């Protein structure tokens, strides 16, 4: 136990926060493990992968300090609900003076098959309320993002809200886990200023 504490102190991130990793979702048990919360699932994956806790309440988010490829990163899990994600992002950006191009946002996409990734350097909100809020509050769409496919509703008459707030089927869960792994690998590349490589490998 003592050795673990010492290791954590030695490996604790120091210096200026260079990147924000923003994982979008909705707080609360009702939304846990739903399609719309795949960003939160990625946050949990990062937490386990790096052995960090994303549990400090700040910037209207749960936050975790991490070191990825030698760069200090703040992992954000906004607690504002999806439609107000921009409030949390802007608050953290302003505090650490992070440029928009160093704000990497991870979120769900119903236009992609389950487990497929789409990495972009910038772009419109694409109808996603979380991205819409970030663009509105920051007055910019010039930020990288990783979209994780959660599949489209099975029938045109099916309510989209019910679909995204539903959980993954058992056969979809393996695809999602693989997507979470590939998203993390993409994060490493993007933080190393190799977003083109990430797009070529994982799009």
Enumerate the active-site residues.
Answer: 36
Given a contact cutoff of 8 angstroms between Cβ atoms, the answer to whether 141 and 124 are in contact is yes
Given a contact cutoff of 8 angstroms between Cβ atoms, the answer to whether 70 and 1 are in contact is no
Which of 84, 131, 70, 80 minimizes the C-alpha distance to 103?
A: 131
Cα→Cα distances 126→27, 60, 130, 138, Å: 22, 24, 10, 17
Q: Is 46 exposed, middle or buried (0-12, 13-18, 19+ CB in 10 A)?
A: buried
Tell me the C-alpha distance between 137 and 87, whole Å. Answer: 7
CB atoms under 10 Å from CB of 130, counted, come to: 26
- Residue with token string 């160093």: 102
Given a contact cutoff of 8 angstroms between Cβ atoms, the answer to whether 188 and 69 are in contact is yes
Q: Is 141 exposed, middle or buried (0-12, 13-18, 19+ CB in 10 A)?
A: middle
């Amino acid at each position: 136990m003592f050795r673990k504490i010492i290791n954590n102190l030695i490996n604790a991130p120091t210096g200026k926060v260079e990147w924000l990793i923003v994982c979008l979702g909705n707080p609360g048990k009702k939304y846990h493990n739903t399609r719309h919360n795949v960003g939160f699932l990625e946050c949990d994956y990062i937490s386990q992968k790096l052995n960090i806790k994303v549990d400090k309440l700040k910037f209207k988010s749960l936050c975790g300090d991490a070191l990825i490829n030698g760069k200090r990163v703040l992992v954000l899990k906004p607690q504002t609900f999806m439609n107000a994600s921009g409030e949390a992002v802007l608050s953290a950006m302003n505090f650490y003076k992070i440029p928009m191009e160093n704000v990497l946002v991870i979120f769900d996409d119903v236009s992609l098959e389950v487990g497929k990734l789409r990495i972009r350097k910038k772009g419109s909100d694409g109808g996603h309320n979380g991205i819409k809020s970030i663009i509105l509050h920051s007055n910019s769409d010039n930020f990288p993002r990783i979209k994780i496919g959660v599949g489209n509703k099975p029938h045109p008459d099916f309510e989209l809200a019910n679909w995204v707030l539903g959980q993954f089927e058992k056969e979809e869960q393996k695809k999602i886990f693989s997507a979470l792994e590939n998203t993390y690998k993409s994060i490493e590349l993007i933080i190393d200023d190799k977003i083109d490589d990430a797009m070529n490998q994982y799009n």
